[in-house]
Every structure is written in C-alpha cells, then in structure tokens.
Structure 1
Amino acid sequence: MSNKEIVERAFRDWAEGKGYVSSIFADDLTWEIVGRSAASRHYRSAHEFSAEVLEPFGRRFRHDAPFRPVAVRGVYADGDTVVVLWDGAGTTIADTTYENTYAWFLRLRDGLVVDGVAFYDSIAFNELWESVAPS
C-alpha cells in the first residue's frame, strides 16, 4: 500500500468512526502545530502529542458526535510526504459546534507518520480550547 493509500484509509476509518488517524503515528513521531494557537509548538513523540493535544481535544466533544473529518478536500503525495487538506467538525460537550479546516503535511517511514506539520484556524481552535473544558 502506498503512503497516500495508508493516509487515505486512516482518514476514511476516522471519518466513519472505525478508528483514529493516530493509529498510523510512529512512537517517535515529531509534530509541529504552526501559528499562535494554544497548542502551537513542537511535540517530540506521539505520546506527548496525544497526551497534550489529542486527548484533551477529544474530551471536549460528545461521544455521540465526536470531532471527525467531514470532508477531505484533497490528498497529495510526493515521495515520503503526504499532504491532506480537510475539514473537521464535532459537537462539544457544551452543545456547541466546532468546525475547522486543516492542512497536514505528513512524512511517513515504513507506513507510519514520523513527522507532521499542521496548519489550521488558530482563532477557532483557541475559542474551543478556552470555552469548553475537557470532561
């Protein structure tokens, strides 16, 4: 399976509620969130990124309407790099809707993401992060 196919399948499974994109993250993953959001910085492992961003992010959403990709606008591959432009949405535990558009640049090795760079609307993210406490 190509890197592009691996990423496409992970996003499809996530969108359908059959898994999470983090299933293709290598343990030694590095991740950068670009910009000035509350979560913007470099993360040095999948565990650190998950514990400090993904888990508290996920706990802000209802179990019956979690945050997921709602549209993948495009998946582009060049060598070991896959770029995904996608829209995500979910209903928060405060019964508000969070929507954002993301551009993820993923470098894969042996079928796993070893380096990620994420761009998104920092204002929308910060509003969620500050207004909805994780459950």
Structure 2
Amino acid sequence: MNPAKRLASSLLLSLTVLSGPWSGVAAAEATPERNQRLVERAFANWSAGRGSLFDDLLSPTVVWTIQGSGPAAGTYHGREDFLRRAVRPFAQRLATPIVPRVQGIWASEDQVVVRWMGTATARDGAPYRNEYVWIFKMAGERATQVEAFLDLVPYQDVIDRIALADLSPAAPTGERQAP
C-alpha cells in the first residue's frame, strides 16, 4: 500500500475509533482530573491570599449544606446566602484570615473531596483551629453543590464569644474565610 493510502486508512480508522461508543472514556477520565486541578488551584490561591475561594469555585446558585447540629448547620441556597449567613458573621469575628492546610484532595466523576485544616486568630486573640471535609459536586468549572463537615463547636464558640457590636468598622469582609 502506498504511503498516501496508508495515511488515509489510518485517519479513517482513527475517526472510527474516536466516534465509537468508547470515545467518551477519555473525556470522562479527564473530568475528575480537571475538577481536582480546579479545586487544588482554588485552595492554593486561598492559602496564598489571592482571590476568593467562594467566588473562584462556587456557582452563584450553589447549594451548600453544613452537616451536624447547631445554628450554622443546615442548607444554604446560593453563594450569597451562604456568605451572608455563615461566612461573613464568622469572618468578621476573626483578626486574621483562616489559613487552609490541605491534607488531601480526591476526585471521582463529578465530585471532589477536600480534607483540610484551618487556623486563624479570633478578634479576642484566641486561636481558632478546625478540621474540615468538603465534598464538591462540579458542573463545568463550578461547584453546584457542597457538603461540609467540620466541628461546629469551635465555630459556634467564636460566634458566641465575640459580639458583632464589639467590632471596629475595619473588620475583614471574610470572603476568604470558611465556617
């Protein structure tokens, strides 16, 4: 077979393989890795003080569920609802932003699981430490659902101990903070 016919046959065979029922396998395998890289990048930026994890990663219509019991536990509908009712009230009581230390990130299909530790200093000088597991359900390049696990006792202790009325107008906005 001459080289031109061999090339044409190879191209035809390649197109047949790519359009077959198994053609989605490579794309499906790429999605978990892509999602994991998106989450890794968002956490790296957060840790470095760049951007906002919530703006960078969450869909505006995200459904965020904090598991457990206590006033902060429950489901928040939309990024702004979550920021307004859970993130900002907590972050405004901190003197320093939470610094995340990722312990592991795993991805499977459209879900990414992050286990991380967060540390900060409250406005009264007391340390804040907590461990988190967040499960992101990704669609495109955004998380559309998040399930969060954390010890709500230290979170609620900061909320209860430091009144918002005691805060100066220069309080941090808390967009980079996490409950």
Superposition TM-score tier, normalisation by shorter sequence: over 0.9
Give ranges in structure 1 of 5+ residues lacking alignment.
Answer: none
What amino acid maps onto 1:52 in structure 2?
R
Please report the TM-score for the alignment, with normalisation by the length of structure 1.
0.93
Paired AA for residue 11 in structure 1: F
**What is the aligned-residue RMSD (CA, Å)?**
1.2
SS in structure 2 opposite 1:37?
A: coil
Report the TM-score when normalising by structure 2.
Answer: 0.71
2:139 corresponds, among 93, 106, 109, to 109
Q: Does 1:6 align with 2:38?
A: yes
- The secondary structure found in structure 2 opposite 1:53 is helix
Q: Which of 74, 81, 86 lines up with 1:41 in the alignment? A: 74
Summarize deviations over 1:79-128 as a string: whole Å, max 9, x none.
Answer: 11000000001111111110000000000111001000000112111111
**1:113 and 1:12 mapped to 2: Cα distance?**
17
State the alpha-carbon separation in 1 of the partners of residues 71 and 135 from structure 2.
20
Provide the identity percentage.
29
C-alpha displacement at 1:20, in angstroms?
A: 2.0
Following superposition of structure 1 onto structure 2, how do residues 51-62 of structure 1 map, counting pairs within 5 Å? 51-62=84-95
Q: Match for residue 91 of structure 1?
A: 121
Alpha-carbon separation, structure 2, partners of 1:46 and 1:2: 22
The structure richer in helix per residue is: 2
Secondary structure of 1:11's match?
helix
- Report if aligned partners of 1:11, 1:20 keep a CA contact under 8 Å in 2: no
Q: Distance in 2 between matches of 1:132 and 1:68?
A: 20
Unaligned runs of 5+ in 2: 1-32, 168-179
In structure 2, C-alpha distance between the alignment counterparts of 1:121 and 1:18, rounded to whole Å:
26
CA deviation after TM superposition for structure 1 residue 21, in Å: 1.2
Q: Does 1:50 align with 2:80?
A: no
In 2, the alpha carbon distance for the partners of 1:68 and 1:48 equals 23
